[in-house]
Structure 1
Amino acid sequence: MGATTKPDRMVLVDSLRGFALLGLFLVHCVERFELFWLDPVYDRTFQWTFGIFAGKAYALFALCFGLSFYIIMERARERGEAYAGTFAWRLVILLGFGILHSLIYRGDILMLLALFGFLLLLFDRIKNNWLLLGLGVLILAQLPLLFRAWAAMDGQAWALATPRYFDNPSLGVMATGSLWDMIKSFATDGQGAKWWFMLESGRITQIIGLFVIGLLLGRIRFFRDPERYGRTRIIALVVSLAAWLGLWAVQVQLFPSVAEALPEAQRELGQALENLIQLALLSVQILVFIELYQRLKGAVISWLAPMGRMTLTLYLGQSLIFVPIFAGFGLGLYDDMSNATALQIGIVTFALQMVFAAWWFRHFYYGPLEWVWRAATRRTLDVPFRK
C-alpha cells in the first residue's frame, strides 16, 4: 500500500479482527487448548501472554461482531432489503459451526457469539446513540457479579458456594481418553463447565456489552472515518491508559485489604475488577492499533487483514490441527513442552497462516468456510468463489 494511499476502512477492520485472532491463538497455544490447567505453570511467558491477550482477544472478537452486524445491516438498508430474518438465519448457521467445534475444543466462542448475537436485532431498534451508549456501559459494569458479591456478604448459600465451573472432569478425559471419549465428555460435562464459567466469570455480560459498543462504533463511523476521530482517539487513549493504571493500582494496592475485610465477596469483586482492567487495556490496544494503522498508512499491520477475512476457517482449523497435537488421543504433547516453546510454536504457526491467507485471497474471493457460510445464508451455490 503506497504512502499516499488512504487506508481502506474494511482493511482496518479486517486487520483488527486478524489481531484478535492472533491474540486468541497465542493464548490457546500457551494454554495447550486448555490442558495447561491440569498442571499450570505460571512463569513469565504465561504472565506476559495472558496479560497482553487473555480476556482481551475474545472481547475484541465480540466488539468486531457488533460492528460487523452494523455493516451488514447498513449495506442491506442501502439495497432496500429487510435483512433481519437473513441475519437471524446467518446466526443459526454460525451456531451449527460452534456446536460442531465445541466437540473438539470445549472453549469454543462461536456458540456464544451466535446465541447472544440475536440480541443485536433488538439493540438495533434503539435509535438514540446516547441511550445505546448508556445501555452498553450499564451492561459492562458487571452488575450480576456485584449482586453476587452482595449476596455472599449477606450469607446467602448460593453466592457462597464454589463456582460450578471448578468441577471440570472433561479435561482429564481430553488428556488421557480416546477421541470418542473426549467428544462425549465435551458434549456433556465440558459444555456445562464452559457455560458456568462464562456466566459466573462475567464474560457473558462482557460479550453482550461489547456487542452494543461495536454497534455504536459502527453507527458513528468510528472506523469508516478514522481521520475525523484523530483528536478524540488521543483523548480516549489518555483516559483509557489512566483507567487501566488506576484500576491496576487498586488491584495491587487496595484489593488485598478489601479481600481481607470481605472474604465472602472477594472472588466476585476481584473478578469484576479484573474484567474492568481487561476492558481498559483492550481500549488502549484498539486505539494504539488504529493510530499505528493511520500513521503507517496500513503498512505492516494490513498483513493481518487476510487473516481477518477468514477468521472462521482459521479459528476452526487451528483446533483441528492443534487439539490432536496436545490431546491424549493424538501426540499428547501438552505436558512435554514449556510455555515458551508452546508460544514459539504459536508465533511461527501464525506467521505461516498469514502467508497462507495472503496467498489464498490472490486466488479466491472468500475463505473456504466463509464461502460455505455465505452460500448457506443465501441458500444458493451461486456465490463467486474462485477469482
Structure 2
Amino acid sequence: MALIRFKLEIQPEKQVGVSSMNILSKSQVQPERIEFVDALRGFALFGLLMVHAAEAFGVGLSRGTDDPWGQAVFFLFGSKAFAIFALLFGFSFATIMANQRARGVDFTKRFAWRLFLLLTIGFLHSLLYSPEILRLLAFLGVLLIPLDRVRSNYALLAIAGLFFLQMPLLIQWLLAHWGNAFAASEPYYSSSGLWDVFRNGSLGALISANLVEGNLVKWSINWSFGRVSEIAGLFAVGVVIQRTGFFASLAKDRVIALALVVIGGTIFAILEFIVKPLVPGSPSGVEFAIGPFTERAILFQWIGISGIAALIGFLALLWNSPVQWLVGLFRGPGRMTLTLYVAHSVIAVPILYQFGLGMAEVWDTQQRILLAIAFFGLQILFAHWWYARYRYGPLEWTWRAATLNDWKVPLRKHSQSA
C-alpha cells in the first residue's frame, strides 16, 4: 500500500510547499503553495466558527449541546477544528524554517519574534473574546524551536507520543489519589464568575474581566482538558508532516486518503460510540471526581485526534474527486485565517453580548449556526475579492512586515519587490 511505502525521510527542502505563514526576503521567489493545506486551514477556521456560534461565543457556553444542532456541531468540529489548527501551526513553522535554512538563514530568533507578535495580537484580541486561541498557540509555539533541532522524524514522533500520553494529567491524578487536596480540587474555571460577565457585563467590565480572569480561566481549561500536551504533540506531528511532504502526497494519492478515513474513522467510531459511554463522567450536582474527569479528558484527546485523521482523509478524497471545488471554497479563507478569525469575534461579540445588541438571548442555536454559515460564505467571497488584488490578508501583511521589520513589503499584486 502507498501508506506503508510512505517513508519518514526528510524530503529536499526546496520541494516543500508553503503555508500562509511563510516568510521570504524581498529578493526571493515564493515556492509553490500546497493549496490543499490552505483548504484544510480554511476548513478548520469554519469549524471554529461553528463551535463558537453554538456556544454563542461564550455567552451560552454549554447551551449549544442541548439541541440537535449544537450536538451535530460538536460532533463534527468539537476538539477537532482546534486540533487541525495546532497541527498546521507546526506544519507552517517547519515550512518557514526549512525554506530559510535552504537559503542559509537561521530564522530562529526572527521566528521567536514572530511568536511574540502573535502573542500580542492574541492578547489584544482576548480583551474582547478571552476564549480565543492565538495566545495559546503563540505561547506554546516556543516549543517548536527545540523540536526543530531534532532531525530524526522517528524521534519527533516518539516525542509526540509522550505528549499524547498526557503525563501532567496522570501525575495530577496520582497526586490526588495519594491525598493531595490541591490536585484533587475542582478546576479553577468551573467556579469562575467570568461567564456572568459574558452574559450581563458592560464592555468595560468585559475588558477588565478578560484582562486577568479571562487568562486564568483560559489556561485552567486548556490544562484541565489536556490541551497543552495535546497541542505540543500535534506541533511535533505537524513538523514531521512537513518534512516528509505528506500533505503534498495526500492531496494526490487516494489510497493514502482512504487509509486515513478507514483507520481514523474506525478508531473514532470505537472510541466515540463504544468506549465513551463506558467512561463515567461527573454528573452535575455531585462532588467533583478527579478520576473520571481525567479519564474523559484523555479519551476526548484521542477521539479528537482520530477524528481529525478521518476528516483530513475525507477532505483529501473530495479534493481528488469531481467536487474538488467544494473543498476549494475554503482555500481563500485558509490564506487569511488570522484576519478572518479575529473578525469573527470583533463582529459577533457586540452582536451577541448584552453590552451590544444582546442577540444571544434572542437567537437559538439553530439560528446562530445558520447565520454563522451565511457569514462564513461572505468571508469566502471577501477572501476571493481580496486575493484578486492583494498578496496577503490585512493582518497577515501586518504580521509579516512586523516580523521582517520591513514595512515596504508589497501588499498590492501590481507592486514590485525591490
Establish whether residue 133 from structure 1 lines up as the match of residue 157 from structure 2: yes
Residue aligning to 1:80: 104
Give the aligned partner of residue 275 of structure 2: 251
Give the Å deviation of 1:152. Answer: 3.1
Q: What residue is the counterpart of 1:338 in the other structure?
A: 364
Is the contact between residue 50 and residue 369 of structure 2 (CA under 8 Å) also seen in structure 1? yes
Q: Specify whether residues 239 and 258 from structure 1 end up closer, same or farther in structure 2 by C-alpha distance, changes over 3 A only.
A: farther
Paired residues, number: 378
Measured in 1, the distance between the counterparts of 2:398 and 2:320 equals 33
Amino acid at match of 1:349: F
For residues 38-187 of structure 1, the aligned pairs below 5 Å read 42-187=66-211
Q: Does the 8 Å CA contact 1:222/1:229 hold for their aligned counterparts?
A: no
Distance 2:243 2:322 in 1: 25
Q: Are 1:38 and 1:171, in contact at CA under 8 Å, matched by a contact in 2?
A: no
**Cα deviation, residue 214, structure 1:** 0.5
Partner of 1:375: 401
Q: Distance in 1 between matches of 2:386 and 2:411?
A: 11
How far 1:226 moved relative to its partner? 2.9
Alignment-derived partner of residue 337 in structure 2? 311
Does structure 2 retain, via aligned residues, the 8 Å contact 1:136–1:210?
Answer: yes
Q: Give the structure 2 partner of residue 275 of structure 1.
A: 301
Give, as a single letter, the amino acid of the residue that structure 2 aligns with 1:361. Y
Q: 1:264 to 1:369 in 2, by over 3 A?
A: closer
Asked if structure 2 preserves the Cα contact closer than 8 Å seen for 1:69 and 1:215, the reply is yes
State whether residues 164 and 196 of structure 1, in contact with CA within 8 Å, keep that contact through their aligned partners in structure 2: yes
Write the distance in 2 (CA, Å) between the matches of 1:183 and 1:63. Answer: 30
Distance 2:282 2:351 in 1: 43
Helix, strand or coil at the partner of 2:157 = helix
Give deviations 1:323-359, integer Å, cap 9, x for gaps: 0001111001112111000101101101111011101
Q: Is 1:196 equivalent to 2:220 in the alignment?
A: yes
- Mapped to 1, the partners of 2:33 and 2:390 lie a distance apart of 21
Match of 2:51 among 4, 17, 27: 27
**Match of 2:4?**
none
Once residues 147 and 157 of structure 2 are traced to their aligned partners in structure 1, the CA distance between those partners, rounded to angstroms, is: 11
1:364 pairs with 2:390? yes
Instruction: Tell me the secondary structure at the aligned position of residue 300 of structure 1.
Output: helix
- Given that 1:62 and 1:211 are in contact with CA atoms closer than 8 Å, whether structure 2 keeps it comes out as yes
Q: Which has the higher contact order (CA 8 A, sep 6+)?
A: 1
61-70 or 266-275: which moved more?
266-275
Task: Give, in angstroms, the shift of residue 367 of structure 1.
Answer: 0.4
Residue deviations 1:270-324 (CA, integer Å, cap 9, x gap): 1111221111111110111112112348422112111011110001111111100
8 Å CA contact retained: 1:13, 1:223: yes
Distance 1:127 1:370 in 2: 29
Q: What SS class does the counterpart of residue 105 from structure 1 fall into?
A: coil
Which residue does 2:411 correspond to in 1? 385
Separation (CA, whole Å) in 1 of partners of 2:333 and 2:87: 17
User: Is the Cα contact below 8 Å between 2:115 and 2:138 reproduced in 1?
Assistant: yes
Q: 1:300 to 1:370 in 2, by over 3 A?
A: same
8 Å Cα contact 1:167-1:193 kept in structure 2: no
Whether 2:223 is the aligned partner of 1:223: answer no
TM-score, with structure 1 as normaliser: 0.92
Q: Mean alpha-carbon deviation: is it higher for 350-359 or for 234-243?
A: 234-243
- Shifted more, 282-291 versus 99-108: the winner is 282-291
Give 1:207's aligned residue.
Answer: 231
1 CA distance for matches of 2:369 and 2:251? 36
Alpha-carbon displacement from aligned partner over 1:119-164 (angstroms, at most 9, x marks no partner):
1110011111111111112211222223333333333312321111
Q: Who is 1:291 aligned against?
A: 317
Aligned twin of 1:5? none
Q: Which runs of 5+ in 1 are unaligned?
A: 1-7
Paired with 1:9 and 1:356, the residues of 2 have a C-alpha distance of 20
* Structure 2 runs not aligned, ≥5 long: 1-31, 414-418
CA shift, 1:250, in A, is 4.0
Q: Which moved more, 1:338-347 or 1:296-305?
A: 296-305
Letter in 1 for 2:388: R
Change (3 A) 1:20 1:169: same
Answer whether contact 1:146 1:272 (CA < 8 A) is retained. no
Partner in structure 1 of residue 6 of structure 2: none
2:28 alignment counterpart: none
Partner of 2:355: 329
